[in-house]
Amino acid sequence: MILFAGSLLGVLPLCVASTVLAIPGFEQERPFTPLQMEIEKQRMRLSSTELEERRDALTRLGSMHHPDASRAALAGLGDPVAIVKVTAAGAILSLPADESARHLIPLLSDKDEFVRRETAYALGRTRSRTAVSPLVEVLLNDKLDSVRGAAAVALGEIGDETAVSPLASVLNPQLGLVATKRKQKKKKAENPFVLRAAARSLGQIGDRAGLPTLISALQNEQAEADVRRESAIALAAVGDSSALPALRQALTALDPYLSQAAHEAIRKIQGSTLP
């Protein structure tokens, strides 16, 4: 008796039919894995008219920590609602770093402050050096301090030395080497959060080129105490003994937390320079 392959496959369950290997001329069909089925389920939910359903789908895709789930989440970057875009920005971070950054960078120009800010933070988590130049542009020229502060944080997480000069120009414009559009406008006091973020990022990057700016910020008695503390901590992270005189001066600061930060920085630097 001759059995046609089509009729044979027609009577077998799908999961069995997909494993049939011995029928010439027919390609093997593999069933979806549970992960693939869940990704497809959430992908379909992204077309919902309900904001919270789209957002929940993106949250679930992100929690899978899988590149295929992140690729499904890319559609959310074009959502008209800011909170959905932001959720998508976090959900695509399981893609390769440069690929994630390539998709996120356009959102740095979004009209919504929330989207720009959270995109900057997401770019920091990618650790992709392709994001450095766009983040520097945001740091120097965005109109909102919350976004600029997020860009400063992200640059520290990426840790690229090319960000040192722009960060220095924010922490201490007199020592910074980068001209910005903001400098051409009426001067105003820099936001303390932006200053702290710049100082911390200089420490994270750890390049000696940032030392003069960090030392100047530490010695500036007109600066916010927490900016000076952050500068002391950053000097400890850089670990260069040329910062020791300024740190010793800070030991007598009226702010006990600054004095403590300077003390810890001295101990760390001296310990790192011992033979």
Answer whether residue 107 shows pLDDT above 70. yes
- Which tens digit of pLDDT belongs to each residue from 238-275? 999 999 999 999 999 999 999 999 999 999 999 865 54
Give the separation between CA 48 and CA 38, rounded to whole angstroms: 16
- The predicted pLDDT at position 32 comes to 85
Q: What are the start-end ranges of the H helices in the chain?
A: 5-11, 14-17, 34-45, 51-63, 67-73, 82-91, 97-104, 113-126, 132-141, 145-158, 164-171, 192-205, 211-219, 225-238, 244-250, 256-273
What structural domains and CATH numbers belong to the chain? 34-95 (1.25.10.10), 181-197+208-269 (1.25.10.10)
- The predicted pLDDT at position 178 comes to 52
The pTM is what?
0.84
Give the separation between CA 270 and CA 174, rounded to whole angstroms: 29
